[in-house]
């Protein structure tokens, strides 16, 4: 049986983009879980405050989905964090290009992420 090399094309590009997006969602999910536990809340309690079902909070914490934009300020207030700090964190992990424009590319991991995304865009 011959072993074939995967083609670098649309599929590889979309796989890379999905991996990066999934990584970002996981980071946000871990952040939500960490702060939820810090304030002593269950997923059901947080879901109630956000106006969503338990499975939505679970999916966010597992990196399968993201909170909606309307929920960001609720998360900040619930966790007792400054809204600007929460906004900066979420911007870093949802739109790294805009984050870089506003805050500069000071973080090595941001430069790496942006380079990986740019390389995937060149392989179209």
Range list of H helices, 39-95: 43-50, 54-61, 72-79, 83-94
Whole-model pTM over 0.85: no
Tokens standing for residue 50: 């956000």
- The DSSP 8-state label assigned to residue 63 in this structure reads T
What pLDDT, on a 0 to 100 scale, did the predictor assign at position 92?
87
pLDDT at 1: 43
**Percent of the chain residues past pLDDT 90, beyond the cut:** 52
In a domain? residue 7: no
**Residue 91 is assigned to a structural domain of this protein:** yes
pLDDT value of residue 124: 47
Q: What is the pLDDT of residue 53?
A: 95
Residues of the chain with pLDDT under 70: 1-18, 105-110, 113-124
Residue 50 within a domain: yes
Predicted local distance difference test score (pLDDT) of residue 95? 84
What's the token pair of residue 46? 């947080």
Q: Is residue 90 domain-resident? A: yes
Q: What pLDDT, on the 0 to 100 scale, is given for residue 117?
A: 61
Alpha helices (H) in the chain, listed in sequence order: 10-38, 43-50, 54-61, 72-79, 83-94, 96-103, 108-122
Task: Please indicate, yes or no, if residue 17 is contained in any of the structural domains.
Answer: no
Q: Are 58 and 33 in contact (CB under 8 A)?
A: no
CATH code, 75: 1.10.260.40
d(CA 65, CA 2): 38
pLDDT of residue 18: 63
Number of domains in the chain: 1
């Amino acid at each position: 049986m011959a072993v074939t090399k995967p083609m670098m094309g649309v599929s590889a590009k979309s796989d890379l983009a999905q991996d990066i997006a999934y990584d970002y969602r996981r980071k946000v999910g871990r952040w939500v879980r960490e702060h939820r536990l810090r304030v002593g809340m269950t997923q059901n309690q947080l879901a109630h405050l956000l106006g969503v079902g338990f499975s939505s909070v679970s999916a966010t914490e597992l990196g399968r989905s993201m909170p909606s934009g309307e929920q960001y300020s609720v998360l900040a207030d619930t966790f007792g964090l400054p809204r600007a700090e929460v906004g900066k964190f979420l911007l870093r992990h949802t739109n790294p290009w805009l984050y870089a424009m506003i805050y500069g590319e000071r973080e090595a991991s941001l430069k790496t992420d942006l380079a990986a995304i740019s390389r995937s865009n060149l392989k179209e």
